[in-house]
Amino acid sequence: MLRVHQLKLTLDEAALPQDAVLRRLLARYLKISESDVDSVKLQKKSVDARDKGDVHFSLTVDVTFKNGSLEKTIAARFRPNQAAVVEQTAQAPDLFAAEWNRWDDQQGRPLVVGAGPAGLFCALALARRGAKPLLIERGQPVEKRGAHVEIFEREGVLNEESNVLFGEGGAGAFSDGKLTCGLNSPHIQTVLRTFYACGAPEEILTAQRPHIGTDVLRKVLVNARMRLCELGGEVRFGCKLTGLILRDGAVAAARICQEGRTEEITVRKVYLAIGHSARDTFEWLYDLGVPMEQKPFAIGARIEHLQREIDRGQYGSAAGHSQLPPAEYKLNVPTPDGRGVYTFCMCPGGQVIGAVNQPGEINVNGMSFHARDGINADAALLVGVRPQDYGSDHPLAGVAFQRRIEQAAYRHCGGFRAPCQRVEDLLAGRETKALGQVQPTYRPGVTLGDLACCLPSFVLDAYRLALPQFGRRLKGFDAPDALLTGPETRSSSPVRFLRKPNRESAIAGLYPLGEGAGYAGGIVSAAVDGLCAGMEA
Ligand SMILES: Cc1cc2nc3c(=O)[nH]c(=O)nc-3n(C[C@H](O)[C@H](O)[C@H](O)COP(=O)(O)OP(=O)(O)OC[C@H]3O[C@@H](n4cnc5c(N)ncnc54)[C@H](O)[C@@H]3O)c2cc1C
């Protein structure tokens, strides 16, 4: 099979039926006849907007020929980064089709805590091995959770156990559903294929920067839960892990609480995938002696622009073409103190969302629907923080640091209305009194003012340095009316649970997983961590 890279597809050609257009492009590029081509398969598709006068798609395509010997002849005419013969390997299977080691029943029934991506993939893997896992989730199923999030956004009334952070799907359920990740793992394909098997669109398998969107993700989660139950797993919602009973340094039982009723269950293996915001659980785990340490992370605010301005900045005159997706960006700049400023978790056509689980605190994040058709683009604008900033060497001092910022914002605003400042005002060091072109998307609403009410001065100084530089790289990024809504304090966990290479804590039978444990930074990396634990541990 020949793998052809950097195949150029114009924006107008992208509207044509895929198979026919790929055959035509390949024939032209490889200088062969279309009738020589046996099969074509799109591997990757990305937008190439480096030259604003020639925005197009760049494709990687696998092609086989009716005459097999053509592969080598053609490959000899190209550089390996343009076209190369590759082995036809079987595609990575989804989790339901993969081969699994049978679970050793002597280990008893495993308990998985948390139904975010880490817990869900761990439970699915265990179920495929025949372990009949019990998956407990303190929040509600995704169908009920939507109503609780809606009440928060409409009325500012928080459900502490069912919100954007807690409930089926974890922190990622009300997200943009970006499925990119920095890992280089063969299991990424299994995760993507499993999402696809549960109803995610096929394009996630080929897009350079795949995303699902919160609307589609919620349906995928329901299907995944059904598959888990079909495989013998059990899911209990509104069910919280409140204690572990240890014997000789190993897990012997777990205390779980559901609808006010506490139950002790005998269990030897507990997979702890509780995310970065289960602060109550962190505290009792620390008291129990579960080893953990401080971890650096990053804080800042969400920046919002009009999506059409970002499109113009990225695509030039091609902006608005029906085949082009809403434009994305990723920017970073070093700062003299080494912290750096960078954009993170960009949501094209998205909205800023409150991501809190406790009263008296404000933390924002971003989400979008599959169509990414909102008026604004948003992204976290983050500045690195380090354990020296936390003011104590207690392993949970990073949580206290986050809380101070979140509580200052809440106190200043007198509720969940988040502080918001125009970029021009931030650069001039003055309060915002009125909005301009960009309207904030955050609900239950914003309080105009100065982000100095909650964010440390090193963050604001770093912004003043970075914003003009970002504006030079992406026209309009530092536009006067762009908005900063904050604070965003939970970009990742401020804590890392210590674990052995097999993911087990020093407490035998306890496996801290995913983002809360400090080993993942997004949906896919958390899912891969959970999957590997369920497969191997
Ligand atoms: C609004 C938002 C948008 C995001 N957008 C993206 C994105 O587009 N792409 C991306 O890759 N990442 C995104 N992220 C980050 C991503 O969601 C997380 O990295 C990921 O969900 C972490 O997975 P996890 O399974 O480790 O933890 P979580 O998803 O946080 O799941 C932990 C679960 O454990 C449960 N739990 C906690 N304590 C207990 C207990 N004691 N008993 C029982 N259950 C418990 C919680 O209720 C929660 O459901 C976003 C996050 C947010 C908040």
What does the pLDDT average to over 166-181? 93
Beta-strand relationship, 495-497 and 332-333: unpaired
Clarify whether residues 24 and 125 are in a common domain. Answer: no
Q: Are residues 453 and 505 in the same domain?
A: no
Mutating to test ligand 1, I would choose from 345, 364, 490 the residue with most ligand atoms within 8 A of its C-beta, which is 345
Burial class (CB in 10 A: 0-12, 13-18, 19+), 4: buried
Q: What are phi and psi of 381, to 5 degrees?
A: -115, 105
Ligand 1 atom 30, closest CA? 275
The answer on 350 and 308 residing in a single domain is yes
Tell me: the pLDDT tens digits for 246-287? 999 999 999 999 999 999 999 999 999 999 999 999 999 999
Is residue 366's pLDDT more than 80?
yes
- 357, two tokens: 């689980």
> Residue 253 corresponds to which tokens in the numbers above?
């039982």
State residue 378's pLDDT score: 98
Please tell me whether residues 407 and 514 are part of one structural domain.
Answer: no
pLDDT at 391: 95
* Pair 77, 130 in one domain: no
Q: What is the pLDDT of residue 89?
A: 73
Q: Of all protein residues, whose CA lies closest to atom 15 belonging to ligand 1?
A: 522
Q: Does 278 share its domain with 348? A: no
Q: What is the 33 CA–ligand 1 centroid distance (Å)?
A: 51
What CATH number has the domain bearing residue 231?
3.50.50.60
Asked which of 85, 120, 143 is the last residue of a domain, the reply is 85
Q: Do 457 and 340 share a structural domain?
A: yes
Q: What angle do CA 285, 290, 296 make, to 5 degrees?
A: 90
SS3 426: helix
Q: Kindly state the average pLDDT of the residues 391-400.
A: 98
Q: Looking at residues 512-524, what average pLDDT do you find? A: 97
Instruction: Say how many Å lie between the CA of residue 239 and the centre of ligand 1.
Output: 16
The pLDDT confidence band at residue 461, using thresholds 50, 70 and 90, is: very high
Residue 450 to residue 336: CA distance in whole angstroms: 24
Section 210-221 average pLDDT: 94
Q: Which of 121, 135, 136, 137 to mutate to test the pocket of ligand 1 (most atoms within 8 A of CB)?
A: 137
Predicted pLDDT of residue 100 = 94
Closest CA to 119 of 127, 129, 130, 108: 127
Q: What is the 3-state secondary structure (H, E, C) of 235-249?
A: EEECEEEEEEEEECC
Dump pLDDT digits (tens) for 53-87: 999 999 999 999 999 899 999 999 999 999 999 98
Q: Exposure string (b/e) for 252-265, b if CB count within 10 Å is 16 or more? A: ebbebbeeeeeeee
In this structure, is residue 93 part of a structural domain? no
pLDDT score of 176: 87
The reply to whether 262 and 218 lie within a common domain is yes
| β-sheet with 418-422: strand ranges across | 332-333, 341-347, 376-385, 297-306, 483-488, 418-422, 446-448
Least confident stretch, 38-47, 85-94, 471-480: 85-94
Q: Taking residues 186-195, what's their average pLDDT?
A: 95
Tell me the β-bridge partners of 500.
none
Say if residue 423's pLDDT is above 90. yes
Residue 88 scores a pLDDT above 90:
no
What domain range includes position 394? 296-488
Q: How confident is the model at residue 347 (pLDDT cuts 50, 70, 90)?
A: very high
Residues with CB under 6 A from ligand 1: 113-119, 136-139, 164-167, 170-172, 174-178, 240-241, 273-275, 278, 281, 345, 353, 355, 365-367, 514-516, 520, 522-524, 526
- pLDDT surpasses 80 at 485: yes
Strands 56-65 and 2-9, sheet pairing? antiparallel
* Count of domains forming the chain: 3
In a domain, 153, yes or no: yes
28 within domain boundaries: yes
Q: What 3-state class would DSSP assign to 57?
A: strand
Average pLDDT over the chain, rounded to an integer: 96
pLDDT at 221 over 80: yes
**Ligand 1, atom 3: nearest CA belongs to which residue?**
175
CA of 142 to the centre of ligand 1 (A): 13
Q: Tell me: pLDDT of 537 over 80.
A: no
From atom 53 of ligand 1, which residue's Cα is the shortest distance away?
A: 171
How close is the Cα of 367 to the center of ligand 1, in Å? 13
Q: Which of 274, 406, 531 maximizes ligand 1 atoms within 8 Å of its Cβ, making it the mutation to test the pocket?
A: 274
Alpha carbon distance 237, 256 (integer Å): 11
Query: Band of the pLDDT at 233, cuts 50, 70, 90?
Result: very high
Q: Does residue 201 form part of some domain? A: yes
Residues 81 and 142 in one domain: no
Distances (CA, A) of 276 to 96, 480, 493, 505: 28, 34, 5, 17
Residue 90 has pLDDT above 80, yes or no: no
Over range 384-408, report the average pLDDT. 97
pLDDT in tens, 95-116: 999 899 999 999 999 999 999 9
Residue 29: left (phi > 0), alpha (psi -120 to 50), or beta?
Answer: alpha
Alpha carbon of 526 to ligand 1 centroid (Å):
9
Which residue's CA lies nearest to atom 33 of ligand 1?
114
Is residue 172 over pLDDT 90?
Answer: no
Best of 136, 175, 267, 328 to mutate for ligand 1, by most ligand atoms within 8 A of CB? Answer: 175
pTM: 0.95
Domain membership of residue 262 (yes or no) is yes
- 505, pLDDT greater than 80: yes
Instruction: Name which residue leads in pLDDT, 38 or 537.
Output: 38
pLDDT digits (tens, 9 = 90+) for 135-150: 999 999 999 999 999 9
Which CATH number fits the domain that encloses residue 79? 3.30.70.2700
CA of 168 from ligand 1 middle (Å) equals 9
Give percent of the chain with pLDDT exceeding 70.
100
